[in-house]
Structure 1
């Protein structure tokens, strides 16, 4: 049995366990996904997406799409579908609000924010600062995988030196872009490790 297959079996069991523990749907975000998972994607569909965006999806995410599902049950407001991950804004899923450029590498390996003291800027300076923060190339290579709320997205790096890692895009709150340590992890996580850690934390919360 492959490492991924073993992990996927554990994840499936933990999804069922969490759903059984949270029949009242008290866990944050469950009203959005209702513990439902969209159908898995075929290898052909995934390959077409990869070809269209000139990328190869990280193996840990690809196998999840193929064997568990394409969005639904997951952290915060649930996992985004693969096709919705290309929108620049998860609050406004329309092309007119911008699309992620996955074909270009994510330019960061360490947390990033534009220098400047936003609390001591004039309105004009702040607007110019924000405009520079939201230049498209700053978030190249990020696939949106979950909506944290408040304009914050959780992302998978699909291109660049940080390939396969989970990162947070918190530019809407002037906090830049940084690796995801929200679950108390000390190291950077791939998709399956991140998702299973969320399950473990959520199960513990429901048990208590």
Structure 2
């Protein structure tokens, strides 16, 4: 499956890095990161990575690491790089170390907080200009425990930064295995699945290939301006 899924993808990304665009076009988000991919991982590298995290990677992401790259060009500010450098995190990039590698085999809790619960928690938190009395600080503690508790992201790894501490995660374990979730908690939102348009969650391959198709289209439009 991997050969058919990822055939020619690395070449498509590398072709974008050679597109010359006018300076004024740099305002486009698609150009905020160079179209460069890291080298691929070897089968031995992937096997060691899986042994260290205690779970097999979802097939689409696994074959991406083997055939396209260990990270680099991709949605947001680019895909965090999988690596096996001694003394370094297993994934590198902005906020890439927010996962608990010791709990990746645990099922991801695929249940966002109820919007009403989220609103009620937020309403009790101190706002700008409020006195930070004990009641406000207690409310802030409840917010952090409910929204940012370590159990919220077990079984998943952050894949990329969307800016302003927002991220997207790949689920490794549980019913949502292979799915992509967006993390809006830094904007007083929550974790939520990226919908696939048919009631399910977008998986890694579609997530990446949709981004690549959009990037190619945007660059084509820019080059004609």
Structure 2: distance between partners of 1:9 and 1:82: 20
Closer, same or farther: CA 55–207 of 1 in aligned 2, 3 Å: same
Structure 1: distance between partners of 2:113 and 2:220: 37
Which of 167, 171, 192 matches 1:157? 171
Instruction: Say if 1:113 and 1:177, in contact at 8 Å, map to a contact too.
Output: no
Hey, what does 2:81 align to over in structure 1?
81
Give 1:72 shift. 0.6
Structure 1: distance between partners of 2:71 and 2:11: 17
Closer, same or farther: CA 139–52 of 1 in aligned 2, 3 Å: same
Structure 2: distance between partners of 1:118 and 1:35: 41
| Count of residue correspondences | 197
Hey, what does 1:120 align to over in structure 2?
123
Hey, what does 2:61 align to over in structure 1?
61
Hey, what does 1:104 align to over in structure 2?
106
Secondary structure of the corresponding residue to residue 39 of structure 1: coil
Does residue 47 (structure 1) correspond to residue 47 (structure 2)? The answer is: yes
Hey, what does 2:214 align to over in structure 1?
201
Closer, same or farther: CA 86–133 of 1 in aligned 2, 3 Å: farther
Hey, what does 1:186 align to over in structure 2?
197
Flag the structure with larger Rg: 2
Hey, what does 2:134 align to over in structure 1?
none
Secondary structure of the corresponding residue to residue 72 of structure 2: coil
Hey, what does 2:144 align to over in structure 1?
130
Query: Which residues of structure 2 form unaligned runs of 5+?
Result: 84-88, 127-136
Q: How does 1:129-148 map onto structure 2 within 5 Å?
A: 129-148=143-162
Give 1:119 shift. 5.1
Query: Which residues of structure 1 form unaligned runs of 5+?
Result: none
Instruction: Say if 1:144 and 1:153, in contact at 8 Å, map to a contact too.
Output: yes
Hey, what does 1:70 align to over in structure 2?
70
Q: How high is the TM-score relative to the length of structure 2?
A: 0.76
Closer, same or farther: CA 147–22 of 1 in aligned 2, 3 Å: farther
Closer, same or farther: CA 63–92 of 1 in aligned 2, 3 Å: closer
Closer, same or farther: CA 59–98 of 1 in aligned 2, 3 Å: closer
